[in-house]
Amino acid sequence: MSGFMTTFGLWLSVFFTLSIFSFLYKDNPFYKLSEQIFVGLSAAYWLVYLYYSVMVPNLFNKLFTDFKGNLILLIPTALGLMMLLRLIPKAQWLSRYPIAIMIGTSAGINMVRYAKTDLLGQISATMINPFASDNVITVIGNILLIVGTICGVYFFYFSKKQEGIRAVPSKLGIWFLMISFGASFGYTVMARISLLIGRLEFLLKDWLHIIK
């Protein structure tokens, strides 16, 4: 029976793979069916892992094993239940409390973390001595790094009209951004092709046994 189920599983995988690929010809019922099944399975997967990995160890187990010691956990439980009230129009306003707590906390965390990592961290990383290296290429690279960062930030500074001499750094900034977008395109091609290789390998190896 287990052997049959393995073969059935393989054919199921093949069916779903080919159904999705069929979209390349045109939209069709097989693709639509696979798409909806994917959404359903994905949602259920999240829910099952949420239950086992978060709700059970971080809430239910704590409450069931030491209720008195974990009484405080009733507050987030109540807030969580209030969140679910968003589904009932009359009681919808109650969901604002947990949402406000989540948004407020996220805002605080984002403010501190982005200030440290993306603002101060990146500025510090740009404050380098470009001539510290013996390698000419690295020196040129470091100069490009400093100039590119400053011009790029300047380009995003919209508060003043950029005309005449003021437009020069902005123009340079655009050039750096274009180079970066070109590099990103190259990398995106790489990523997408890799995913296709993975699926073709499955079809050629596991299903058709053409490759070992």
Question: Which residues inside 4-63 make contact with another protein, applying CB under 8 A?
Answer: 5-6, 9-10, 12-14, 16-17, 20-21, 23-25, 29, 32-55, 57-59, 61-62
Task: Provide the minimum distance between the beta carbon of 50 and another protein in the complex, in angstroms, as a whole number.
Answer: 5
Cβ nearer to another protein, comparing 14 with 167: 14
Cβ nearer to another protein, comparing 72 with 165: 72
Cβ nearer to another protein, comparing 91 with 161: 91
Count CB neighbours of 106 within 10 A: 10
Distance between CA 140 and CA 147 in Å, rounded? 11
Structure tokens belonging to residue 171? 């123009």
Query: Which SS3 state, helix, strand or coil, does residue 170 take?
Result: helix
What residues between 152 and 191 interact with another protein by CB under 8 A? 152-153, 155-156, 173-191
Cβ nearer to another protein, comparing 75 with 165: 75
- Residue 169: CB partners within 8 Å, gap ≥ 6? 150, 151, 154, 155
DSSP state of 160: S
Cβ nearer to another protein, comparing 159 with 161: 159
Task: Provide the minimum distance between the beta carbon of 106 and another protein in the complex, in angstroms, as a whole number.
Answer: 8
Among 28, 66, 69, 99, binds another protein (CB under 8 A): 99
Cβ nearer to another protein, comparing 137 with 165: 137
Distance between CA 183 and CA 128 in Å, rounded? 24
Distance between CA 40 and CA 36 in Å, rounded? 6
Kindly report the backbone phi and psi dihedral angles of residue 130, in degrees, each rounded to the nearest multiple of 5, phi listed first. -65, -20
DSSP state of 103: H
Query: Which SS3 state, helix, strand or coil, does residue 35 take?
Result: helix
Among 159, 165, 198, 209, binds another protein (CB under 8 A): 198
Distance between CA 91 and CA 82 in Å, rounded? 9
Task: Provide the minimum distance between the beta carbon of 85 and another protein in the complex, in angstroms, as a whole number.
Answer: 9
Among 71, 114, 131, 168, binds another protein (CB under 8 A): 114
Task: Provide the minimum distance between the beta carbon of 163 and another protein in the complex, in angstroms, as a whole number.
Answer: 19
